């Protein structure tokens, strides 16, 4: 059977779009969802965007932007690392709030706490993702975690469930052109991310 030339790249792009890490190790049920702007996002009170804003995270990018992009991620998830890399080209235009969750209470929890408490989160996250994607497991982190940080990370992990998700990365934003609340589960490239956010 002959495979047309465009079919293989299309399949590769689709595989990258579906790339996500889940609590159970299963692929996510849905890769992209778009929510209505106001109270239409049952069963949560308020909007998906307002709910995501309750997470405890660190901010990078265009600090003066009025509409942050919320990204829930797991420190040991390589797909989250790929989304981080894709977002770097947009950081001059977009304020990203990275909200760590921990699917396990060992390395992930310690790394999440280190990222949240970093004096320079941009530099620390760059170092972490470079190490993770390079196959060396990410930054080293102390297993001694302050109780408030541990509670915040556990609340973030519960937030993922509240948002109706069990896989990361999970992104919630307002499209800059339309004002529509958009969400996406899984990694994507810079062009797709820019399009989703309305900043291309």
Burial 4-40 (b: 16+ CB within 10 A, else e): eeeeeeeeeeeebbebbbbbeeeebeebebebeeeee
Identify whether 104 is part of a domain.
Answer: yes
Identify whether 190 is part of a domain.
Answer: yes
**Which residues are bridge partners to 184 per DSSP?**
32, 171
Identify whether 2 is part of a domain.
Answer: no
Give the C-alpha separation, 138 to 87, whole Å: 18
Identify whether 38 is part of a domain.
Answer: yes
Indicate the number of domains in the chain: 1
CB atoms within 10 A of CB 140: 12
Q: What is the CATH number of the domain that holds 189?
A: 3.40.30.10
CB atoms within 10 A of CB 53: 15
Identify whether 161 is part of a domain.
Answer: yes
- Check: CB of residue 112 under 8 Å from CB of residue 102: yes
Global confidence as pTM: 0.80
pLDDT in tens, 113-160: 999 999 999 999 999 999 999 999 999 999 899 999 999 999 999 999
Identify whether 1 is part of a domain.
Answer: no
- Residue 59's Cβ-side half-sphere holds a number of Cα atoms within 13 Å equal to 12
Tokens standing for 144?
Answer: 């001694």
Identify whether 172 is part of a domain.
Answer: yes
Give the pLDDT score at 200: 74
Mean pLDDT for the chain overall: 82
pLDDT in tens, 52-103: 999 999 999 999 988 899 999 999 999 999 999 999 999 999 999 999 999 9
CB atoms within 10 A of CB 88: 16
Q: Please classify residue 74 by burial: count the beta carbons closer than 10 Å to its beta carbon, then call 0-12 exposed, 13-18 middle and 19+ buried.
A: buried
For residue 54, give the 3-state DSSP assignment. Answer: coil
* Domain range for 44: 7-197
């Amino acid at each position: 059977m002959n495979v047309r030339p465009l079919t293989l790249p299309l399949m590769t792009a689709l595989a990258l779009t579906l790339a996500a890490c889940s609590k159970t190790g299963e692929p996510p049920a849905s890769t992209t969802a778009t929510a209505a702007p106001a109270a239409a996002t049952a069963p949560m009170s308020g909007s998906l965007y307002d709910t995501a804003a309750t997470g405890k995270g660190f901010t990078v990018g265009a600090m003066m932007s009025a509409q942050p992009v919320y990204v829930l991620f797991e420190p040991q998830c390589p797909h989250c690392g790929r989304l981080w890399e894709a977002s770097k080209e947009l950081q001059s235009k977009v304020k990203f709030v990275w909200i760590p969750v921990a699917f396990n209470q060992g390395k992930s929890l310690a790394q999440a706490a280190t990222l949240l408490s970093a004096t320079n989160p941009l530099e620390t996250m760059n170092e972490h993702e470079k190490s993770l994607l390079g196959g060396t497991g990410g930054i080293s982190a102390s297993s001694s975690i302050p109780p408030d940080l541990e509670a915040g990370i556990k609340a973030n992990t519960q937030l993922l469930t509240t948002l109706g998700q069990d896989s990361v990365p999970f992104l919630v934003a307002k499209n800059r052109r339309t004002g529509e609340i958009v969400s996406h589960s899984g990694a994507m490239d810079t062009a797709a991310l820019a399009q989703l956010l309305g900043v291309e």
